[in-house]
Amino acid sequence: MIPVSVYKSLGLERIFHKVAEGRRLDLDDGFRLFQCPDLVALGALAHRVRLRWHGRTTFYVVNQHINYSNICVNGCLFCAFRRRKGEPGSFELSVADVVEKVRERLHEPITEIHIVGGCHPELRLETFESMLAAIRKIRPEVHLKAFTAVEIAHFARLEGLTTRDVLLRLQAAGLEMLPGGGAEVFSPRVRRLLCPNKLDGDGWLRIMREAHELGIKSNATMLFGHKETLEERLEHLDALRRLQDETGGFVCFIPLPFQPGNTEVENAREPTGVDALKTIAVSRLMLDNIPHIKAYWVMLGVKLAQVALHFGADDLDGTVVEEKIGHMAGAESEDFLSRETLENLIREAGFDPVERNCFFETLPASARSC
């Protein structure tokens, strides 16, 4: 453990004591942590909190990603996945195609199916209800985590329904959880620059509140390393923390390092390893009420994700297999990781691998051997 004298020499003694006593950090504390020149000292503080929450357990999930379409009306500049309808590279899966993707992997012990797409101009809510119900029928034991808050708002607009009614209908069809995407950074300034047509931050938070009130848990993300300031990152974290105080519905926070390839963000560069590790550590320290921090290996790269387990992260996400959003933006990570690889990465980093489902419920070893 790094002695308090080190934090004293860094001007972080007060923050050190707050963390040791489990007291909430304010935005100024967060800023000072970001400015800390001693990466290892910052990581050790976050690691202390991570050990308090989870000990040496590090989670992973055996999951399947399905993107039903990349056709999107929003045109976000940071997104290399999106296409206009009819544009080369655009795709749209039917319900039967999605079911086929699920069927192809029925022999694998998948516990979570993660389904997202663009904001498609025509696909109706009925299609998504049929999609969930059809998957439920052939894979009743699997948990369905689908549709970002941005997609929920889009479905509501197309149908002339409230977002609450959309959530209720999807929940009745089998939706159990919302993924954390679409949050980007809530700053209106950044959203005007990068995604002016997308649901705004308040809308994203409102839909998450509604979901949580209906018993639908969710994750939350932050896309970082593009045009946002450190203050804007911290305000994003604070907004999530305040909503979590109200609802308790966020299960996991996922800091997503921006992948600049094939995007339209000017002068874009991928955040450095130091920035990514600092962001993960500060997230762990600021989000004192969200239990899990994910080191998403797809965007971080497997090597940095492994190191991130010492900087506050307690989850590596999962096997994934068919990821498009990060890889179309130049992510150089593998297409998929086997359970064995995930477990070895976790063990090598000095932690105990534990398989979870999307709610972070631990799976008994017997369920893991199939």
Give the residue nearest to ligand V47 (CB).
Answer: 181
User: How is residue 140 annotated by DSSP?
Assistant: T
Whole-angstrom distance, CA of residue 285 vs CA of residue 52: 12
Smallest distance from the beta carbon of 182 to ligand V47, in angstroms?
Answer: 5
C-alpha distances in angstroms, 219 versus 120, 161, 213, 304? 22, 24, 14, 21
How many Cβ atoms from other residues are within 10 Å of residue 141's Cβ? 10
Q: Between 145 and 169, whose beta carbon lies closer to ligand V47?
A: 145
Listed in order, strand segments (DSSP E) in the chain are 57-61, 63-67, 112-116, 143-146, 177-178, 217-224, 250-257, 292-293, 315-318, 352-355
Q: Between 15 and 225, whose beta carbon lies closer to ligand V47?
A: 225
Torsion angle defined by CA atoms of residues 275, 358, 76 and 327, in that order, rounded to the nearest 10 degrees:
70
How many Cβ atoms from other residues are within 10 Å of residue 135's Cβ? 25
Contact 184, 197 (CB under 8 A): no
Smallest distance from the beta carbon of 2 to ligand V47, in angstroms?
Answer: 31
Q: Between 30 and 326, whose beta carbon lies closer to ligand V47?
A: 326
Q: Between 181 and 249, whose beta carbon lies closer to ligand V47?
A: 181
Smallest distance from the beta carbon of 86 to ligand V47, in angstroms?
Answer: 22
Smallest distance from the beta carbon of 13 to ligand V47, in angstroms?
Answer: 36
Q: Between 219 and 333, whose beta carbon lies closer to ligand V47?
A: 219
Q: Between 82 and 169, whose beta carbon lies closer to ligand V47?
A: 82
3-class DSSP state for residue 222? strand
Smallest distance from the beta carbon of 259 to ligand V47, in angstroms?
Answer: 4
Q: Between 43 and 179, whose beta carbon lies closer to ligand V47?
A: 179
CA 327 from chain centre, in angstroms, equals: 16
C-alpha distances in angstroms, 301 versus 82, 258, 298? 22, 12, 6
Which residues share a beta bridge with 257? 224
User: How is residue 256 annotated by DSSP?
Assistant: E
Smallest distance from the beta carbon of 87 to ligand V47, in angstroms?
Answer: 17
Q: Residues interacting with ligand V47, by CB under 6 A?
A: 78-80, 179-182, 184, 219, 221, 223, 254, 256, 258-259, 263, 296, 299, 317, 325-326, 329
Smallest distance from the beta carbon of 12 to ligand V47, in angstroms?
Answer: 30
